[in-house]
Chains A and B, each alone.
Chain A
């Protein structure tokens, strides 16, 4: 890419922002503030976040104005996956060892992931928890933060940009991007290529966050990692949707998701076979 790039680490992953002109330090500072604000609300990995306070004490908690799209998407995907994709998998992830200190040591305890209605209620601005609920918005949160970072760029007049949070990629403005779909079993290889323009492509696979035979994509109905699908890709207008859909593709009938959302998708089964939406515009190396 000829564009100047800004690289940094945020919320546990490397990021890169490509823009036509070098990113102004003032704009980058605003981006970092936005990321910090998001992390302080939603991170399960820091003690001072809103999500950590909620985990300690049940009650009613007002959320910042960025919360409604996130909770609404989670609710739609919770319904579309018959409860398999849930923001309530936080405790199960902790018990499996994906906790604040990255102990990566599964405990003997397995607490059932509660159903949405028994644990939380979202009224559009406030979340009421009935038990000490450990929220984990990891399945769509990073994608959403990519959208929010692109909003900060737009506020500063940077309308053409690519925000790549590693796995969650948003293109805005002029031109297009040719994107390789990484093979989950051999990351030096691609299984296909697709061109995106003014849209997001998000990928999900358990290959890099795996430990002790476990990984981080849990079916809320069993509380255990999924094993039938080994990689997914979703292309949607926003990174919030694409990220959430990439996770939902591990659990749901893709035809049902495509009915509900404006998206293209590809997924790879553990047998090595690949399925894709009829409208997938990219090339797969079949």
Chain B
């Protein structure tokens, strides 16, 4: 891991965006589903043509909560001007900061890309319960009725 020395602008910019997310999480209980997408283009890179150096960066951000000054640490990985990974660690001491930072961190969500189960080496698959017997027969019967009508 490289510390942030050579490219403060990019990360500070992103940390700023992240903190807006964290603070908005305080004002509403909704999860901040849009904040931590896995593939987020660094906004300035395309606009200015700037090239960011690939690597992993960590920066701390401060904000003022009703209970005082709080800090979150943001670590992100840049590859070809795209953020490919984000980790946020909350350092809140008071209960409400812990709660909101926790909700924010847990709320990091992203679109998933399905992979073929056949191509994964797994022992088991966890999905909804398979049905047997009665339920399947009932569904078949209803389908048959629907076709007959």
A residues near B, CB below 8 A?
1, 9, 12-14, 45, 101-104, 142, 162, 164-169, 177-184, 186-193, 201-209, 211, 231, 233, 253-255, 258, 268-269, 271-278, 284-286
Contacts and interface: CB of A to CB of B under 8 A. Distances in A.
B120 A180 contact: yes
A92 to B, nearest CB: 18
B142 A104 contact: yes
A189 B106 contact: no
Interface of B: 29, 31, 33, 38, 99, 102-103, 105-118, 120-135, 137-139, 142
26 contacts: A12-B132, A13-B130, A142-B129, A169-B124, A169-B126, A177-B123, A177-B124, A179-B123, A180-B120, A180-B124, A180-B125, A181-B126, A181-B127, A204-B128, A208-B129, A209-B135, A233-B126, A255-B103, A268-B112, A272-B112, A274-B109, A275-B109, A284-B112, A286-B38, A286-B110, A286-B113
A180 B131 CA distance: 19
Contacts of B122: 178-180, 190, 193
Contact of B114 (A179, A205, A285): A285
Given A204-B128, A208-B128, A273 B110 contact: yes
A205 B131 CA distance: 12
Contacts of A180: 117, 120, 122, 124-126
A142 B123 CA distance: 21
